[in-house]
Structure 1
Amino acid sequence: MSMKDKLLFFLKRFALLFIIPSILLNLFLSYKFYSQKKANLVKVIGIIDGDTVVLENKTRLRLRHINAPELEFCGGQEAKNLLASLVENKSISIEEQIPDQTGRAMALIYVDNLFINQKMLESGWARYHSDQTSKTALLKKTADNAKTNKLGIFSQLCLQMQNPDNPNCIIKGNLENKRTSGRKLYYLLSCAQYKFVQIEKDLGEQWFCTEKEASAAGYIKAAT
């Protein structure tokens, strides 16, 4: 047997002993990973609003870091519609799931490689909710970009200094503490703070034509 034949024989033996088993092992591991990943997928069968979905086991799941407007407020329906377009009747993977203060599940969710929590903040149809996950910095930056670019609820549609719908109704109904939905205050044009008050309609703040109208809605006159 010539040296060339010996070399070819050695290469064939090497392929049989090492390369082919290695390929088969990689195929097996890939299949196992795919099967495991598929087993962890859960189908979304309903959308409650812009930050909460219903899973196939009928439980509700809220998106971590996401606070979408209530449906009756500015941007609420837009947020719900966007979330529906992203996940409804699709299978999602769930990561970093924890219960909230009421026991409801919260998590980061994906459709394939699409990070849904980030897409909601990227659109501007949801506010950033402070939380601690592996994606905190990314999501905070995404939300800040949406706010800077005046997207979604940060556009003039929901965030207003003047009333674009009725210039004659200029009384500003404002929440004193937006995090806890504290006292409802209304500001007249004569109030010292009037020019600094923004109407954030996604939080339920609103314009009024008369003081009587503001009082009937549960607002009290601001001191300044």
Structure 2
Amino acid sequence: MSYRGIDAPELKMPYGKEARKELMKLIGGKSVTIYVYEQDQFGRYVGDIYCDNMFIQEQMLKCGHVHHFKKYDKRPEFENWQKEAKSTGLGLWASKKPPQKPWDWRRNKRYARHSAIQVY
């Protein structure tokens, strides 16, 4: 299952564990409602998630725990929520150094894995 319109830091990335912890505060052990919109290229369902009448993607963006995944979701409110968190330095935006986007991190990891040089 993928959350439509957002991408969280991977666990091995800076702020990855914190983002997971914050998500678990919102949904851990609770019933959620999922509105599935599609399947992605990897066969995962992609949807909007609600818990206790709260739109989870909105909450995660407003608190600065995730990135808006603009490539796959153009909803302007997502961009606005991210801008709010960024301008107030919340979550992953608290660092002086701009956070690496998860999709760039994954791409770099794949590239590094496939470009290893073997010396004999």
Residue from 92, 96, 101 that aligns with 1:153: 92
Matches within 5 A, 1:172-211: 178=104, 181-182=107-108
- Separation (CA, whole Å) in 2 of partners of 1:128 and 1:179: 15
TM-score (norm 2): 0.75
Which residue does 1:67 correspond to in 2? 7
1 CA distance for matches of 2:105 and 2:9?
13
- Tell me the matched-pair count: 107
Cα shift readout 1:52-95 (whole Å, capped 9, x = no counterpart):
xxxxxxxxx11111111111211101100111111121111112
Structure 1 residues 82 and 103, CA gap change in structure 2 (3 angstroms):
same
Matched, 1:113 2:113: no
The CA distance in 1 between the partners of 2:52 and 2:25, in whole Å, is 14
CA-to-aligned-CA distance 1:144-186 (integer Å, 9 cap, x gap): 1111112111112xx428xxxxxxxxxxxx99x9377359xxx
Matched residue, 1:94: 34
CA distance change for structure 1 residues 178 and 88 in 2, over 3 Å: closer, same or farther? same
- Secondary structure in structure 2 of the residue aligned to 1:107: strand
Greater Rg over alpha carbons, structure = 1
Partner residue, 2:113: none
Task: Report the identity percentage.
Answer: 29
More strand by share: 1
What runs of 5+ residues in structure 1 fail to find an aligned partner?
A: 1-60, 162-173, 184-217, 219-224
State the alpha-carbon separation in 1 of the partners of residues 13 and 108 from structure 2.
Answer: 17
CA shift for structure 1 position 105: 0.8
Q: Give distance in 2, aligned partners of 1:128 and 1:91.
A: 24
SS of residue paired to 2:42: coil
- In the aligned structure 2, how far is the partner of 1:153 from the partner of 1:132? 20
Look up the equivalent residue of 2:104 and give its one-letter code.
K
Aligned match of 1:43: none
The question of whether the paired residues in 1 share the 8 Å contact of 2:35 and 2:49 is answered with yes
In the alignment, the residues of structure 2 paired with residue 88 and residue 65 of structure 1 have an alpha-carbon distance, to the nearest angstrom, of 21
Question: Over the residues paired in the alignment, what is the CA RMSD in angstroms?
Answer: 2.8
**Alignment-mate amino acid for residue 178 of structure 1:** D
Letter in 1 for 2:16: G
Per the normalisation by structure 1, the TM-score is: 0.42
Q: Which consecutive aligned stretches of 4+ in structure 1 deviate over 4 angstroms post-superposition?
A: none
